[in-house]
């Protein structure tokens, strides 16, 4: 599921461009408050508390997370459809980033869902070992005309407002191969990120999941964005930082149990 070395994750072309994870336009509105980016990766699933096989990730370095960059997309994609999507998304996203809730119409919802999809597809390559979105999904998403672009089938998204003003992310990817059906490749992804006051959670589980997938987002005071938008004028409750990590981990462990017993690296 990883990209070929030196090739764009969206089109497989070369000429990669090193770009900020958090878009340049956000830097004007978000303070850089941290002197170090703490990026940790975990490729072991045996320990439910995530303490096994923890190592420093590629983004761990001096400087605020807003300064971190990845070289995984080509200049053509970055300066083309991705740039156009950033321009469309900025006026819709900015109120949420600044903590101002607002209703969204259908087209605004689609644009924000596309922006979240793009961010998620890029951010999982901060640790390629846990990148699980299939190449075909990335390529189809990028190749579509701007007006026709939609998140891949089966993706769910929620948004809310957090109490703080940090920019951060959690990404979890896991895959399971059923040995009785070698062509069966089941995968799951949970990506939660925070940009200013905006909180986003994107989830994809690649087979019928028996539990209500809304349970954990609702506990976090997140509301449906995609594919069943429920972003209304009234803001939901605040997403409290003290709850985020434990609930995300609980959601992760439940999905791991569902895809068990044969898991590929994840977390």
pLDDT at 251: 74
Paired tokens of 119: 């961010």
Count other Cβ atoms within 10 Å, centred on residue 81. 21
Q: Are 231 and 166 within 8 A, CB to CB? A: no
Task: Give the closest residue to 90 by CA, choosing from 8, 198, 1.
Answer: 198
Query: Could you tell me whether strands 40-42 and 54-56 are parallel, antiparallel, or unpaired per DSSP bridges?
Result: antiparallel
The verdict on whether omega for the bond into residue 62 sits within 30 degrees of 0, i.e. cis, is no
pLDDT at 94: 95
pLDDT at 183: 41
Query: Mean pLDDT for each consecutive 10-residue tract of the chain (267 residues)?
Result: 75 88 81 61 54 60 65 93 96 94 93 95 85 91 96 92 76 60 61 87 74 76 87 76 69 68 41
Paired tokens of 255: 């999905």
pLDDT at 24: 81
DSSP string of 90-106, one letter each residue:
HHHHHHHHTT------H
Distance CA 227, CA 170 (A): 22
Domain extents for the chain?
Answer: 16-259
pLDDT at 209: 62
pLDDT at 32: 67
pLDDT at 264: 40
């Amino acid at each position: 599921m990883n990209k070929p070395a030196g090739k764009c994750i969206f089109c497989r072309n070369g000429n990669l461009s090193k770009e900020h994870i958090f878009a340049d336009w956000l830097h004007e509105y978000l303070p850089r408050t941290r002197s170090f980016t703490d990026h940790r990766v975990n490729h072991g699933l045996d320990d439910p508390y995530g303490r096994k096989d923890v190592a420093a990730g590629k983004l761990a370095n001096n400087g605020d997370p807003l300064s971190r960059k990845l070289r995984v997309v080509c200049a053509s994609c970055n300066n083309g459809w991705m740039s156009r999507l950033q321009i469309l998304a900025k006026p819709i996203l900015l109120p949420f980033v600044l903590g101002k809730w607002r209703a969204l119409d259908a087209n605004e919802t689609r644009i924000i869902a596309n922006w979240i999809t793009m961010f998620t597809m890029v951010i999982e390559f901060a640790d390629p070992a846990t990148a699980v979105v299939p190449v075909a999904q990335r390529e189809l998403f990028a190749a579509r005309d701007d007006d026709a672009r939609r998140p891949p089938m089966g993706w769910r998204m929620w948004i809310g407002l957090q109490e703080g003003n940090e920019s951060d992310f959690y990404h979890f990817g896991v895959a399971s191969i059923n040995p009785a059906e070698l062509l069966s490749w089941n995968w799951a992804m949970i990506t939660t990120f925070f940009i200013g006051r905006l909180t986003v959670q994107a989830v994809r589980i690649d087979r019928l999941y028996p539990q209500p997938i809304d349970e954990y987002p609702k506990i976090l005071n997140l509301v449906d964005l995609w594919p069943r938008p429920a972003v209304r004028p009234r803001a939901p409750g605040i997403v409290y930082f003290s709850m985020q990590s434990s609930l995300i981990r609980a959601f992760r462990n439940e999905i791991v149990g569902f895809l068990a017993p044969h898991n590929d690296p994840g977390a």
